[in-house]
Copies of this chain bind each other. A is one copy, B any other.
Amino acid sequence: MIVLTGELILEFLKNLENHLRNLREELDISQVEELITSINSSKNIFIMGAGRSGFVAKAFAMRLMHLGYSVYVVGETVTPKIKKDDLLIAISGSGETSSVINVAMKAKSMVGSKVAALTSNKNSSLARLSDVVVTLKGKVKTEKDEKISKLAPLGTMFELTSLIFLDALVAELLNMKGLDEEDLKERHAILE
């Protein structure tokens, strides 16, 4: 049996609280407006991310489904062909994940769909090819910082920040649509 002071857990939580405070102050609301407008004006929404950003993407896709949007996850079984009137939301901290960039380029070049990026890097390949970009700070995988690397290694800060941001976005969408929790429950899977 180990003896745990829990010091690192507390440090991690404090660090994240600071991070969220920064997010509140630095979030570019005009970017969020553009993202919401794209979501609400598209016929179908396709979402993708690789690795842990992929799980963030799926968690957001599930909520969009609960909200009544027609939404698909790239790579899942029933995902159809993306069309011109559809939106692809791509999540990548570095904005340089090759599979995500390849898919985003295909969506633009093959059918001309709109692409929205959620990324830490506004100068990345992904951001440059996207129609809408929401930038979220978060140590991205390619940065170095001794202390934060040990506390929140690799893409951890971006992944947490993007899931938190997207859940905050859900609150906005829920309110805009005049829905409440009961409406979400009405669509929430019971076979699981």
Contact = CB atoms under 8 A, between A and B. Distances in A.
Interface residues of A, number: 94
A29 B4 contact: yes
Interface in A1-41: 1-6, 8-14, 16-17, 20-21, 23-24, 27, 29, 32-33, 36-37, 40
A74 B58 CA distance: 15
Contact of A149 (B88, B181, B190): B181
A62 B2 CA distance: 24
B191 A48 contact: yes
A88 B192 CA distance: 13
A128 interface: no
Q: Is the interface of A mostly helix, strand, loop or mixed?
A: helix
Contacts of A171: 8-9, 11-12, 150-152
Contact of A76 (B2, B78, B99, B184): B78
Contacts of A78: 61-62, 65, 71-73, 76, 78
Contact of A99 (B23, B102, B160): B102
Ordered nearest first, which 10 A-B pairs have the shortest CB separation?
A12-B168, A55-B55, A6-B29, A9-B168, A50-B192, A149-B181, A4-B33, A153-B181, A58-B77, A8-B171
5 contacts: A8-B171, A73-B77, A82-B191, A106-B191, A151-B171
Interface of A: 1-6, 8-14, 16-17, 20-21, 23-24, 27, 29, 32-33, 36-37, 40, 46, 48, 50-52, 55-56, 58-59, 61-63, 65-66, 71-82, 88, 97-99, 102-103, 106-107, 110-111, 149-154, 156, 159-160, 163-165, 167-172, 174-176, 180-181, 184-192
